[in-house]
Each structure stands twice: as structure tokens, then as C-alpha cells.
Chain A
Amino acid sequence: MKRHAHKHPGMLLLAAMLALASTTTRAAARDDLLAGYAAAAKTADPGFAGFSAVRGEAFHRQSFAGGKADTPACTSCHAKDPRTSGQTPAGKAIDPVALSASPGRYADPTKVEKWFKRNCQDVLGRQCTAQEKGDWLSFMISQ
């Protein structure tokens, strides 16, 4: 226990570099994900002019009639203020969905798609469009 990693400058540097590397990889994965949604949004609507965090915020809070009665909005489970924790109908806490509060999020496209698929079905009774996904993500990344 004497040779503790933290006391070794080389180790410290290595740790810092690894942390930085994983931060950049995550950011790149998020950029790729958004670029994919942007391409899909453009195909669906040639007039597509980019994502909007403001629209994403409105979408996050909007109540829909098409889904399950007990979960009409994203905010039925995620908090209105995305920097705070949410709660599932079964009572389990959900970590904040704002990127600033949960820096590990949105770097795993399979996970993101899995939950969009489930949650959009629950809330809207249909899949979300690429535009809606990109707007919502832009809001969360801006928070």
C-alpha cells in the first residue's frame, strides 16, 4: 500500500490522459448518434434545418394522448428539470437525463435506441421521429 498510485506523477498523468480519452470517445459517439438522426430527419423532410434544444425542451414536457394513460409525458418518469432524478412507475429512481448531471449518457447508441423505442411507445403510442429524438437529445446535451 506504500506505492499508492496517486503519489506517482506518471500514474497521475496516465490516469488524466485515460479520463480525457474516454471523454473524447464519448463525445464522438454522441456526435455520431446526432449525425445519424440528422441524416434521417433530412431524408424525411428535405426542409430540415437542424435540431433545436428549445423544441426538445417543449417535447420533454408535452402531454400526449396516444400512449399509456399513466405515462402521458417524458416527465411522467424523468424529472421536469432533467438535472434532477426521476422515478419509474414501479418506484425505482432514474438518474438525471441531463448530460451535465450524468456525463456517461448517450454514448451507447444501442442503449439510446432501446429506450427511445420503449419510452416513445409508452408516451406517444408510436415511435418518435428522428427530428424529435435529435431535438430531445440536443436539449439534454445542452443541460
Chain B
Amino acid sequence: MTLPYRPISLGLLAIAFSALVFQRAQAGGSHYFPPVSDPVVKEECGSCHLAFPPSMLPASSWKRMMGELTNHFGDDASVDPASAQHITNYLVSNAGDTGGRSYSDKLLRGTSPSKAPLRITELERWVKEHREVPAWEWQHKEVRSKANCLACHAGAERGYYDD
């Protein structure tokens, strides 16, 4: 009769764990952006750069971006139509002005969704948060690009941008 215990204790563990994550997210305030959890999005949008959290841009941005993947910042990031539909749904429903609103609050302040910005790194608020980063640091061999969040935010893959 040991069988029933396992699922129960696993369930308790899961609850304890998510409570922990929730607390950290709360404490993080504007530092936490839930990372992409969808495997298709991770695979198709996370090979050339970090799979950016959907809550960092408004839904209009993701729709616009997904409509022009053959010329994605000079790259061909196109995917088959079924994957494209799947990815668009995920990004749009977790965007900064839809499902991800509670996380994006500060980052998207001053950004008009009607402009559908394509770059997180050009959001007014992002620029402000990074104004003290010196030029040489952006050009550092390990950094290369402003879009390389992970170079400076070691917790970026887990959604943390506070260190």
C-alpha cells in the first residue's frame, strides 16, 4: 500500500515548489518574465538567440513579427505554416498586454501597442534601464549584441533579469 503516497507527496512537492517560484516572482517585481515553456517555440525561436519571453512585447508586435519571418532582422527564420500558427498563438496569448500583463507592466510603460515595436532592446524603458552600460561592454566578444541578454543576466533562461 505504498502506491498512493507517491502521487500525493509529488503533488505536495509541486505545490510547495510553485509557491516558492511565485514568491520569487513577486519579490522580483519587474525583474521576472516567465520564460518560454512551449517546446515548439523554444526550438524555433531559441536557437539563434534566447527565446525571448512573450511578455516583453505587446501582442501586436508578435503578430507583426510572425508575419515577416522570411526577413527576420536579415535572417530567414521561417517555419512551416502549422508551427507558425502554433507559435503565434502562444506568443499572442502570453504577450505583455494579454496573458503576461502582470509581468510586463514596467517594461512596456510608454510603449504604444499600435506601433508594434519589433525590438525589446528599443523599448523606451529597456533603453532607460541600460543607459549606464558602457559602449565597450556591448561590443565585448562574449556579448556581441544587445539581444544577448544571457551574457549579463545569468538567470535569463529562467526568467530572471535582476543580476
> A residues within 8 Å of B by Cβ?
68, 87-92, 94, 117-118, 121-122
B60 within 8 A of A: no
Who on chain B is nearest to A93 by CB? B150
A89 & B145 in contact (Cβ 8 Å cutoff): yes
B144 & A90 in contact (Cβ 8 Å cutoff): yes
- Among A91, A118, A121, A122, max chain B CB count under 10 A is at A91
CB-contact partner of B48 in A68, A90, A117, A121, under 8 A: A90
A91 & B144 in contact (Cβ 8 Å cutoff): yes
B76 & A91 in contact (Cβ 8 Å cutoff): no
Cβ contacts under 8 Å, B148 to chain A = 90-92
Q: Within B53-71, which residues are at the interface with A (CB < 8 Å)?
A: none
A91 & B49 in contact (Cβ 8 Å cutoff): yes
**B-side binding surface: helix, strand, loop or mixed?**
loop
B75 within 8 A of A: yes
A92 & B76 in contact (Cβ 8 Å cutoff): no
* A-B contact number at CB 8 A: 35
A91 & B151 in contact (Cβ 8 Å cutoff): yes
Cβ contacts under 8 Å, B75 to chain A = 118, 122
CA distance A89 to B72 in the complex (A): 14
> B residues within 8 Å of A by Cβ?
47-50, 74-76, 142-145, 147-148, 150-151
CA distance A91 to B150 in the complex (A): 9
Cβ contacts under 8 Å, A90 to chain B = 48-49, 144-145, 147-148
Cβ contacts under 8 Å, B151 to chain A = 91
For the complex of A and B, the 5 pairs showing the least CB-CB separation, nearest first, are: A91-B148, A91-B144, A90-B49, A90-B145, A90-B147
Q: How far is the CB of A96 from chain B (nearest CB, A)?
A: 14
Question: Could you pull out 9 A-B pairs where Cβ atoms are within 8 angstroms?
Answer: A87-B144, A89-B144, A91-B49, A91-B144, A92-B148, A94-B47, A118-B76, A121-B76, A122-B75
B147 & A91 in contact (Cβ 8 Å cutoff): yes
Cβ contacts under 8 Å, B144 to chain A = 87, 89-91
